[in-house]
Structure 1
Amino acid sequence: MAGETEIGRIKLGSQGLEVSAQGLGCMGMSAFYGPPKPEPDMIDLVHHAVRSGVTFLDTSDIYGPFTNETLIGKALREGWREKVELATKFGIRDAGNGIREVRGEPAYVRAACEGSLKRLGVDCIDLYYQHRIDTRVPIEVTMGELKKLVEEGKIKYIGLSEASASTIRRAHAVHPITAIQLEWSLWTRDSEKEIIPTCRELGIGIVAYSPLGRGFLSYGPKMVEGLSERDARKKMPRFQSGNVEQNAGIFERVNSMASRKGCTPSQLALAWVHHQGNDVCPIPGTTKIENFNQNIGALSVKLSPEELAELESYASEDVVKGDRKIAGTPSWVDSETPPLSSWKGE
């Protein structure tokens, strides 16, 4: 299938970045979804993706932490770097004792970028995101340091992840934002109310992570049954007993429509994201070449307005059971920062 599907290219935002129409989320290769996968296999997968036309790679310094960037750095040696658009992120830090914090002060921004450049083995990062917003630091302060890194040639474009609409506006006024990364799928659509319209007004591209509902829209309840104890999804409300049984009905309906259309449920759910606009790039993650090939097949699935509406009715807000975030832990999603006038320096 990899040879049969035309991946295509899109302009991500209005600042000049062009990426493959679908990206590759690399997190699960190293972290959060069970034990790290064998490094040679993951490097083969990255190379297969790039050869197939998926050249937009997504990593972060918190994946591992640090080990995923090191893995991607190894995959990009010997001439592969020039073939990809490389995105990484900073801002989420393990503070010890299982506690995570978000940092956005200038010295941390710079140190994090230098660390990522070293681990990735590159001179410049194509797209550098603040992974979550530090609610203690005015966004203008964080953006000021990111702007310096652009001017120094260490990063080309700036992104934010899971930022509120007002934070996006304030950041964009300091330096143009190229992309906002957010969770967007058939069953996670809260960003459509305010954040996505703000991005479109400002000419900012949209990068959709977990476009397959963290695997649930691919496999349904059997995905949950097979999770290892080290898999973060075990703690997510949507996959808890009581919710997962009700959410199974969403998968069953998606699977039924997929059968009618002659595609897999993964392809149907991913096609829905692709149909949201030519400013949207989903970045499904996988650790298997066969799943990667299936994912790019979604680009060949065409949906009519009626089919899109039918799909959306399956996973409407009142149907989905459970929050998308882990209960009782800080998420920093849709966060605000203090006004610039409050900043007293580092």
Structure 2
Amino acid sequence: MQENLSRFDTLKLATQYWHGDETTTKLIVVLFILALIIFFIAGFYMQKRMRERNLKRYFVTFAKEKELTDEEIKILWDYSHKMERDPILVLEFKAPFEKVIDIYIKENPNADENIIKDMRRKLDFEVLSPHVPLVTTKDIEIFQNGRMIFANNKSINVALYDKDEKFMYWVAIDNDVPADVHPGEYVKIVFIRNEDGIYTIEVPIAEILRDNGKTLIKLPHTFDLHRVQRRESPRVKVNKPAKMIIEETPIDVTIIDISTGGAKICTNDKNDVLKKIKYGEEAILEFKLDNRFYSLKAKVLEIDRRPKSTCLRFLFDGVPEDIKDELLEFVQKEQLKLAHIKRKQ
């Protein structure tokens, strides 16, 4: 008899010596198959539960490091799952965080907004670089000027007067809201962020308010922002080794792109200094371009922390005009090289 018989071969062999009736034999086979199915389903379920438990343990540990309270951790965990979002990404990136918070606010109209503000502060989602694109209208800065266009094509100058987690309040600068404008009507707002781009949003009017002689147009928040990028200087992708000196600590980095105005760098270094970097912090970038050495002062404009790397966008600070000319010459040369390669392809 062959060794290492499969379960089904063993069952088949056993049934050959079974003296019961045919119905009983079939019942045993069916029960055996059901037992196997239950075994595999239970195993799959247990594995899933273990993965979920490990993920939650890691999530809670990570959230505690960010000093989130138990209530805040529960909110982010529960609503991440409700939206089928990776809960770790909600702690690391602003966009998924804001979308989870949006669902939380909609399902809990009386939610404490101070808790949400506290979470933003702890996760470093409160202060935005002027170079980082907006994720939601909640990120628009107070006093941002714009132009509001109504359905009848009339337009007025407005500025963001106030905002909360549900609505934004734009003040009509000259109190000249057309008389035939009513709640429910869609309006378009166009505004410019000088270091970023031109934005357009379109939302319905929730209410028109009068406050101490001011006319306020109350609008709901939205994630639907149309952006046209503005860029004063050309930028080119590179892969150049460099050194970043921040808080007197030198860190090996790679320049990912560069322009006359700044550069983006990435590093796999795990130095604790990288965990503490804040927007606006000063650093020195040292690198070579065409065998010419540069040591330039720079300020942090954007921070992108990932599990295995950290990327920073810098604005060069106080660069002399002759150095800017050299950087521009390098960028243009690289752009010509890329154009030549594309033509050959």
- TM-score (ref. length: structure 1): 0.26
Q: Radius of gyration: which is bigger? A: 2
Of Structure 1 and Structure 2, the greater helix share is in: 1
- TM-score (ref. length: structure 2): 0.27
